[in-house]
Amino acid sequence: MDLKRLQTFLRVAETGSLSAASDRLRIAQPALSRQIRMLEDEVGQTLFARSREGMALTPAGELLQARVSGLLRQLEQGVEDVRSMEDAPQGKVAVGLVPSAAAVMGADFAMAVGRAHPGIRLNLQQGYTSHLLDWVHRGEIDMALVYRGAEQLPAEQLVREELLLVGPQGHPALDGPAEMARLEGLPMVLPSAENGLRLIVDMAAERAGIRFDVLAEASAFQLLLELVAEGMGLSILPRTAIQGMAGRFAATGFAPPLHRDIQLVLSRSARQGRAVQAVVPLLRDATLKALG
């Protein structure tokens, strides 16, 4: 199978447009269209649904993208490693971050990589833990910071982050250490179900034998804090979510303590790449500095 056709297929799939892919690859649209038709003939399936709105992947196209994107990234990085054996690391490194980590250390991390390794092209992806683990498994990203690991992936424990009960100043539930059992019946605003933090909080409530009175859910911590500030309810958030907001909110830890573990997971196929090896310690340092 022609690798150039696969690379063309992936660029069109990413952009959803022949014209956008043409600009990115600097190849005329008729040539791109011909490459796609030849690939479709080769696999015996229609890979794109063509319309005025652009190029949308068919189920066959989605399957092909899932199967080949990680493999092509590994191949391209291998070529970069061989080409630059005597030089500084270079090539593309894709890193996944959960939203809360991206907010507090993503920019500092990217700048650190740029200063230390100008030849490395960093690609940052943001997603929830389940999505990031799936992307690492498929080789679409090289590494990720997640809030729970997977036994099938190499994982390194970096930080144990304390979770706090957060509310407006003067709320009686914040006088002294919080007890999960005493939250029953109190109005709460909590992270939405797809956030890994919600699973930890729900499991703690189940162990305490209570059910939360959840008035609102949100995926963004900032929105939850706004709801808390408006008096809608209490929330349970990591300490980093309220850093720099002294005076606006009150917070207290739980007894016994409630926490979540931040882990670094690596794609098995990416571990040997020189560029990946150069980025790992920078990601570790940025995480410990911001969240440790």
Domain 1-68, CATH among 3.90.1300.10, 1.10.10.60, 1.10.10.10, 1.10.240.10: 1.10.10.10
Delimiting residues of CATH 3.40.190.290 domain(s) in the chain: 160-260
Residue pLDDT, tens place only, 215-248: 999 988 889 999 998 899 999 998 888 877 767 7
How far is the C-alpha of 63 from the C-alpha of 61, rounded, in Å?
A: 5
Cis amide linkage into residue 168, ω under 30° from 0: no
In terms of phi and psi (left: phi > 0; alpha: psi -120 to 50; beta: otherwise), the region of 37 is alpha
* Positions in the chain short of pLDDT 50: none
Domain 160-260, CATH among 3.40.50.620, 3.40.190.290, 3.40.225.10, 3.40.50.740: 3.40.190.290
Residue pLDDT, tens place only, 198-213: 888 999 999 999 999 9
Is the pTM higher than 0.75? The answer reads no
3-state secondary structure 176-192: CCECHHHHCCCEEEEEC
Two tokens, residue 19: 């014209």
Give residues with Cβ within 8 angstroms of 56, minimum separation 6. Answer: 16, 48, 49
SS3 label, residue 121: strand
Residue pLDDT, tens place only, 252-281: 999 999 998 889 998 876 666 788 889 999
SS3 label, residue 123: strand
Delimiting residues of CATH 1.10.10.10 domain(s) in the chain: 1-68
